[in-house]
Structure 1
């Protein structure tokens, strides 16, 4: 009897695994383009873990490599990327996680050069959070014409501070030096003009604006941002105006640009990457969803994920909306 029960349990596990693999094949593309995750200010690998966990749980992708950038710029790699791998994920850890977005972008350039020269990666997706998002945009503007880095494919940018960070005077915020000047925004102080340009252009936005025409045209972008619905029109760290100012920079320069707005308590700056189901779903489907229609004004989400999650739980804690603009 014990053997029979053991065999039945084993068969049930095998059957469930086969079903998950079948659903993953039906709902996700099979691509060998790696996706590189970049954390933000004071971030670590834990900042990227929940998003990568979600991708693995749904069968969309799998962690294959961890890259560590030490304070002196030395790069250490654990794992490998092979051509046969299915939607491989690369996690990036920057030890000096308060170096700022411009230094982040320089290190990111070195990482991407290594990925191309040693691992023969020719195309690359990016997922950035906060300063990691800014660094990703800046990196692409700086390196659009270089042949020694992978060609950028999709950019999923979360809570990017393109035109300022709220000066909350928090403990982990620099109060002196050049980086302190990046915390130069306040809630409801800035707004977008009719053409999408922010009324107040902070120096860090001006830096991007001057390089605007260098944005690689093949890139497709999902811009995720948060609104706490507390009157601040922000995620507590980055205002919606600052996050949405990306649109003015990229419209007419990239092949596709879409925004995704998360609202409520789970739309707090750090919570956007910390197990936020709506964000994880949007990110996963944008990067790998077989049914995600890039030409549609209405994003198509993965039906398998709708079955897996309880929508009542999701929407009680967090509303979300999205708009998309396909640029031809």
Structure 2
């Protein structure tokens, strides 16, 4: 019904208005050291997500909860630009801001915040994209505090790729329960090395990993285990990992067992959590945020798209 209304409206105005819509071509030449975050252009004809019209009155779930996209190590604004553009093309949301945070925690923005936007989308950029997860967690806090103070935003979703997801989890177990900061409703991790790049877990089955945790734990994982009780109970998590089905046993960079190591901590602490494994060539680490299957999972998780 929403689609037919839109078609009728366009037919009426067709003689008076002409408008064009161009797809921004996104390329990202940066390549990470340990955790690449380069994105290649992708054929948007592959997108098979259902479209929706945002012209009707917004539902309570759609009103104004922004989703923040956080790039990984050596990433940039271009990391999630393709995904955000594809979501805009399907009317799942609208990009409203790019927020940049400096190493000293100062925050600036470009774009225009608009009230009552259907699923506002915000790109978060770390000016120092090679810093550690502890500082990046502080910078995420600075961004959320800024959005709260400047735009009275009190609820958000987080989507992080690679180190951006690690830093987001670090934020959640460090600051996620602070009442003065916006509540994080939903958190999506994509290609995140939650157990770093340790060896020694190769022979462990995924069932054993989920049930008992990793045999060999990195310092990062031990920190997460020590702080997981502080993870906000209201924040549901979707963990997306890649498996290119070769000898790497992962997405070519992050081992699948590193990405899924967090499952044990989330499940044994009674937290709302699920994971998805993406397979095939487009499950490579730097292609996960350009993979339309990932798009569909993220959109469905965040906005219950059909």
Q: 2:300 aligns with which of 275, 285, 302?
A: 285
Mapping of residues 218-297 of structure 1, within 5 Å: 218-253=234-269, 255-273=271-289, 275-290=290-305
C-alpha change, 1:191 and 1:41, in structure 2 (3 Å) is: farther
Aligned-residue offset at 1:145: 2.8
Equivalent residues of 1:196, 1:247 under 8 A apart: no
Q: 1:88 aligns with which of 108, 113, 120?
A: 120
Partner of 1:188: 202
C-alpha change, 1:259 and 1:20, in structure 2 (3 Å) is: closer
Mapping of residues 106-185 of structure 1, within 5 Å: 106-165=138-197, 184-185=198-199
User: CA-to-partner distance for each residue in 1:260-306, whole Å, 9 max, x for gaps?
Assistant: 11111110101001x2110111111211124xxxxxxxxxxx2xxxx
What number of residue pairs does the alignment pair up? 265
Gaps of 5+ in 2: 1-10, 22-49
User: CA-to-partner distance for each residue in 1:96-129, whole Å, 9 max, x for gaps?
Assistant: 1110211111111111111112211111100000
Please give the secondary structure, in 2, of the residue aligned with 1:67: strand
TM-score (norm 1): 0.73
Runs of 4+ in 1 over 2 A off after TM superposition: 7-14, 19-31, 70-74, 79-83, 184-194, 252-256
Equivalent residues of 2:172, 2:232 under 8 A apart: yes
Equivalent residues of 1:215, 1:253 under 8 A apart: no
Alpha-carbon distance in structure 1 between the residues aligned to 2:99 and 2:226: 31
Partner of 2:109: 77
Alpha-carbon distance in structure 1 between the residues aligned to 2:196 and 2:186: 24
Partner of 2:47: none
Partner of 1:216: 232
C-alpha change, 1:197 and 1:23, in structure 2 (3 Å) is: same
Q: Aligned-pair RMSD on alpha carbons?
A: 3.0
Alpha-carbon distance in structure 2 between the residues aligned to 1:204 and 1:212: 12
Alpha-carbon distance in structure 2 between the residues aligned to 1:56 and 1:206: 39
255-264 vs 189-198, which moves further: 189-198
Equivalent residues of 1:227, 1:268 under 8 A apart: yes
TM-score (norm 2): 0.78
C-alpha change, 1:70 and 1:229, in structure 2 (3 Å) is: same
Aligned-residue offset at 1:11: 5.5
Q: 2:134 aligns with which of 94, 102, 125?
A: 102
Please give the secondary structure, in 2, of the residue aligned with 1:164: coil
